[in-house]
Amino acid sequence: MSLRPARAGRGIRFRRADLGGIEIPATVENVDRLHYATALSRDAGTVETVEHLLAALVSLGVDNVIVELNQPEVPIMDGSAASFVYLVHEAGLKRLTRPRQYLKVLRPVSLTRGEKSIALYPSDHFKVTYSISFDHPLLRHMTHTLRVTEESFVDEIAPARTFGFLKEVEMLRKKGLALGGSLDNAVVLGETGILNNSLRFEDEFVRHKILDAIGDLALLGSPVIGHLVAHRGGHELHAAFAEKFLQETDAWQLVESSSVVDAVGEAVAAKVPTPLAN
Is 120 strand, coil or helix?
strand
Going by C-alpha positions, the residue among 220, 243, 239 that lies closest to residue 230 is 239
Q: How confident is the model at residue 62 (pLDDT cuts 50, 70, 90)?
A: very high
Least confident of 27-41, 119-133, 217-231: 27-41
- Pairwise CA distance, residues 25 & 143, whole Å: 32
Do residues 80 and 55 lie in contact, with contact meaning Cβ atoms separated by under 8 Å? no
What percent of the chain clears pLDDT 90, i.e. is strictly above it? 69
Domains defined for the chain, CATH in brackets: 2-269 (3.30.1700.10)
pLDDT tens sequence across 97-133: 888 999 999 999 999 999 999 999 999 999 999 999 9
pTM, full prediction = 0.89
- Measure the CA–CA gap between 55 and 227, rounded to whole angstroms: 16
Active site residue 235: yes
What rounded mean pLDDT belongs to the chain? Answer: 87
Residue-level pLDDT at 52: 97
Q: How far apart are the first and last CA of the chain?
A: 20
Q: Is the dihedral of CA 120, 121, 127, 131 positive or negative?
A: negative
The amino acid at 71: Q
Burial class (CB in 10 A: 0-12, 13-18, 19+), 177: middle
pLDDT tens profile 229-275: 999 999 999 999 999 999 999 999 999 975 444 455 555 554 433 33
CB-based contact 222:101 (threshold 8 Å)? yes
Q: Which helix (H) or strand (E) holds 166?
A: helix 166-174
Per annotation, catalytic residue among 52, 208, 227, 235: 235
The residue among 41 and 190 whose pLDDT is bigger is: 41
Residues 154-204: tens digit of each pLDDT: 999 999 999 877 766 666 556 554 444 555 678 888 777 788 768 999 999
| Mean pLDDT (whole number) for 200-211 | 96
Helix/strand/coil for 87 = helix
